[in-house]
Structure 1
Amino acid sequence: MTHHTAAGSSRERTDTAPAFDVVGAVRRFGRGAQLMTAVDGIDLRIERGEVTALLGPNGAGKTTTIDMLLGLSEPDAGHVQVLGASPRIAVRGGRLSAVLQTGGLLSDLTVRETIAVIAGLHHVSQRIGEVMDRADLTPLAKRRVGRLSGGEKQRVKFALALLPDPDVLVLDEPTAGMDVTARRRFWDTMRADADAGRTIVFATHYLEEVEQFARRTVVMNRGRIVADGPTAQLRASLGGRTVSATVPNDIAALADRLRAEDAVAQVRVDAHRLTVRTSASDELAGRLLALGATDLEIAAPTLESTFTSLTEEPS
């Protein structure tokens, strides 16, 4: 994949509005007894040039938030602005693009024909070759879309999103269906874009992608933002290490005693398996072994453990 200069680096910017400015956004669905709040009063400001990951379990409100960022739905309360204007204005001006899981492609068209049609609508036919190259689609130019794999279709959507040369790019599970090599190439391209100044917001269930690529991580749960900060700092925020072991007897009583200790931050019990986050991991390991514990493991904090800690129900 050849790297080219990203959109944002070549455009004159005279305004200083953030890429995204979300204030008190609420989004509800249904009515009466069936009313459900999908996004519950979130505030989110993303500056230009930031690379931000949006994480959360199913039902956390990520997709609803992305829909509001793109102008696909309006908040019931609060407001959403993109580059100082409404999302729809940013989309119409070619400054905001997205790669979404939803939305179909015409199966009978070839890859190049698909991109040419959309390029014509944007009056940017001169960019066809460039975006196909950047999405690694040139070898597939004559293949019909209906014969593409899921990952290859995602790459077509990526090429379409690049056509207007947007300042801001929103990606919803962008590498779904891609093999390991395609995922690596995709993120190499995104890294080059980010380094050149393009703002990128992405949702993914691949936590390793967040650790390797996102400079900032926003975690959502039950429609609210439960954590927001630099990815490395968020991972380190747990402190201590996680000790897990299989305990043969009285695991519930042991868990209760541990929860009362100052060095212990979290205790989870799953059948006979005990998992404890503590700043005194070596001492706890010795105590557990003395009690006859087996299969003992000690692990440093990871983004996955941070995510789990922030989003799971306490036990």
Structure 2
Amino acid sequence: MDASPHELASLRGVRKQYGKVLALDGIDLAIAPGQMLALLGANGAGKTTAIALLLGLVRPDAGQALLFGLSPQQLAARRNIGVMLQSAGIADNSKVRELLALTRSYYPQPRSVDECVALAGLDGLLGRQYGTLSGGQQRRVQFALALCGNPRLLFLDEPTTGMDIEARQALWRAIGQLSAQGCAVLLTTHYLEEAEALADRVVVLARGRVVAAGSMDEVRRHVAQRRIRCVSSLDVACIAAWPEVRSARALGTAVAGAAMAAMPSAAAGDRGRGSADAGPDGGDRIEIVADAAEPVVRRLLAEDPTLSDLEVQRAGLAEAFIELTRDDADVAPATQREAA
């Protein structure tokens, strides 16, 4: 099997089908040394299947899966990885200390217990039985077990599910330390802020295909929208009808763009302005989503001399993700979401 020296793991033209359900449709994916790759997609997009192929848990129907240049089923390849999946079949009566000792025994050069404890935040938990731990504490134990073999590549499937904010941020710091030491990380997460905080490369799956891949900025550029916030006395429904505007809202009331153009002005004004936060000059705090910021900002300033608190932001990863996977949940039936 041929493998690029710049790839630790890869899928090449991989196709995987479960009965009538096409989970992956000829995707390419590669992970480089030291890279932190976030694999994103709606439920059923194919993330779990992609990971299962790289771990050797299933085989592709077509294409090739490689792990360190070898078949993922080979023990020599698996000894270089650490895995933290969404669920773990760990005996409730096992003590944390025993779990670490057992897992470390599988590897020729394991990471020290002290380092695993420090990275995963397990101080005070070594003598506890796994079943007595909270959900967040159990996830930290699973993270520590994934580190025991001192892996070159770490698979983290929804790693911070069940963790509070403090524990989640502590895990982010630990993942950052591992990356700085040269460990590559493949991360799947439903928390888009987690991907933004950690990943240097993003791959977005939809309907079993790669719909976007690249750096965070490159994925954001798939959506050219800008978010404009200001305090203005202008009518929100009128702004929403401007040709450059996708939507405008005051407070929590969203107003679709061109669809509002035919609304009678008095009714539209009531809907757009009814319960909005008032600005210092009697205007409303408004949020506008536009395809281009410049013409909208120029018109705002021209039509409202009292406009204030103007902010312009580019689309974030959340907006890009929603746009790229917009139809995924509707297209994929429930059976596909479960399979993939």
The TM tier, using the shorter chain, reads 0.7 to 0.9
1:139 aligns to what SS in structure 2?
coil
Q: Which amino acid aligns with 1:310?
A: L
Query: How far apart are residue 157 of structure 1 and its match?
Result: 1.0
Where do 1:39-188 residues align within 5 Å? 39-89=24-74, 93-122=78-107, 127-188=112-173
Alpha-carbon distance in structure 2 between the residues aligned to 1:63 and 1:93: 18
Q: Which amino acid aligns with 2:22?
A: T
Query: How far apart are residue 83 of structure 1 and its match?
Result: 1.3
Correspondence for 2:256: 273
Correspondence for 1:283: 296
Alpha-carbon distance in structure 1 between the residues aligned to 2:117 and 2:31: 29
Correspondence for 2:13: 24
Evaluate the alpha carbon distance shift between residue 298 and residue 123 of structure 1 in structure 2; reply closer, same or farther with a 3 A threshold.
Answer: closer
Please point out which of 227, 236, 239 is paired with 2:224. Answer: 239
Evaluate the alpha carbon distance shift between residue 178 and residue 271 of structure 1 in structure 2; reply closer, same or farther with a 3 A threshold.
Answer: closer
* C-alpha RMSD of matched pairs (Å): 3.2
Please point out which of 302, 308, 315 is paired with 1:301. Answer: 315
Alpha-carbon distance in structure 2 between the residues aligned to 1:64 and 1:304: 23
Query: Residues 106 and 114 of structure 1 are in contact (CA less than 8 Å); yes or no, is this contact kept in structure 2?
Result: no
Moved beyond 4 Å, runs of 4+: 90-93, 123-126, 243-246, 266-272, 284-287, 296-299
1:165 aligns to what SS in structure 2?
coil
Query: How far apart are residue 129 of structure 1 and its match?
Result: 3.0
Alpha-carbon distance in structure 1 between the residues aligned to 2:69 and 2:123: 36
Correspondence for 1:8: none
Alpha-carbon distance in structure 1 between the residues aligned to 2:290 and 2:178: 38
Aligned residues: 282
Evaluate the alpha carbon distance shift between residue 64 and residue 268 of structure 1 in structure 2; reply closer, same or farther with a 3 A threshold.
Answer: farther
Structure index of larger Rg: 2
Correspondence for 2:327: 313
Query: How far apart are residue 179 of structure 1 and its match?
Result: 1.3
Name whichever of 62-71 and 127-136 sits farther off.
Answer: 127-136
Query: How far apart are residue 28 of structure 1 and its match?
Result: 0.6
Alpha-carbon distance in structure 2 between the residues aligned to 1:232 and 1:246: 30
Query: How far apart are residue 186 of structure 1 and its match?
Result: 1.0
Cα shift readout 1:278-311 (whole Å, capped 9, x = no counterpart):
1145527958x98xxxxx9965311111111111
Name whichever of 273-282 and 220-229 sits farther off.
Answer: 273-282
Q: Which amino acid aligns with 2:51?
A: I
Q: Which amino acid aligns with 2:237?
A: V
Evaluate the alpha carbon distance shift between residue 63 and residue 268 of structure 1 in structure 2; reply closer, same or farther with a 3 A threshold.
Answer: farther
Query: Residues 243 and 281 of structure 1 are in contact (CA less than 8 Å); yes or no, is this contact kept in structure 2?
Result: no
Query: How far apart are residue 195 of structure 1 and its match?
Result: 1.4
Could you tell me which runs of 5 or more consecutive residues in structure 2 were left unpaired when the two chains were aligned.
Answer: 230-234, 258-287, 304-309, 329-340
Query: Residues 293 and 312 of structure 2 are in contact (CA less than 8 Å); yes or no, is this contact kept in structure 1?
Result: no
Query: Residues 158 and 190 of structure 2 are in contact (CA less than 8 Å); yes or no, is this contact kept in structure 1?
Result: yes
Cα shift readout 1:80-113 (whole Å, capped 9, x = no counterpart):
1011111222666510121111222110111111
1:194 aligns to what SS in structure 2?
helix
Evaluate the alpha carbon distance shift between residue 76 and residue 93 of structure 1 in structure 2; reply closer, same or farther with a 3 A threshold.
Answer: closer
Query: Residues 37 and 200 of structure 2 are in contact (CA less than 8 Å); yes or no, is this contact kept in structure 1?
Result: yes
Alpha-carbon distance in structure 2 between the residues aligned to 1:285 and 1:273: 21
Q: TM-score, normalised by structure 2?
A: 0.73
Identity of aligned residues (%): 36
